[in-house]
Amino acid sequence: MKGRRPKNSVIPARVLIRSLIPFAVPVLLTIALLVIAGSSLPRDVAPGSGLKLAGLLATLLTTVLAWRVSVQGISDTRVRSMAGVLCLFVGLISWPVWSMGALPFVNALALQDERTVVMTLDRTESTPIRLSSDRNHWAWLTPTEAETGILPGRHFIPQATYDLWAAARPDSVTVRAATGLLGATVIIAIQ
């Protein structure tokens, strides 16, 4: 009877549904933190100081936990392997959600070592927001000193600041920054 699959090798629906846990957790956590904290927490992370590694670790942890929950009580190794692949795939999709969604909120919960950094304003730009007539506004900044903890790069700015800088064309701007709970540099204000 070679080639026949055992009756219990069909992937149960609960395994498929539970394999979505690695994506559902950071999305729901981000929404909950957004509702609770709103825009009161400064969450803009400085270029070069991201939360990619912390996001990867959170992704791997939720992926392993989701896999364990998904295959609980299942002994078929093929189903367990398929659930592992599916959980890993969904988990890797959730990595940016952790890195740019939930973890910047957590990072901003405890700020320390606040400092003011003078940066050179290289240029400003605005980009369209997808499916909207609104635009995002950006400033390309370079630190004037080498050891600021902020790398040169693009920073989000409000439209009022963009309009002011487009008219005045300042050579340098002041950036208030602090180190967050997870070690990433948080931009508190750009003036």
The pair of structure tokens assigned to 56 is 């990867």
Domain 112-190 belongs in CATH node 2.40.50: yes
Higher pLDDT, 37 or 25: 25
Pair type for strands 185-190 and 172-179: antiparallel
Which of the four pLDDT bands, split at 50, 70 and 90, describes residue 73?
confident
Percent of the chain with pLDDT over 70: 95
- Residue at token pair 């506004």: 137
pLDDT digits over 10-31, tens only?
778 888 898 999 999 999 999 9
| Predicted local confidence at residue 65, as pLDDT | 94
What's the rounded Cα separation, in Å, for the pair 126 and 136?
Answer: 5
- pLDDT tens for each residue of 76-88: 888 899 999 999 9
pLDDT on residue 66: 93
Each domain of the chain, given as residue ranges in start order, spans: 10-40+50-107, 112-190
Tens of pLDDT, residues 116-163: 889 999 999 999 988 888 999 999 998 888 777 788 888 888 889 999
What pLDDT is stored for residue 4 in this prediction? 54
pLDDT at 149: 73
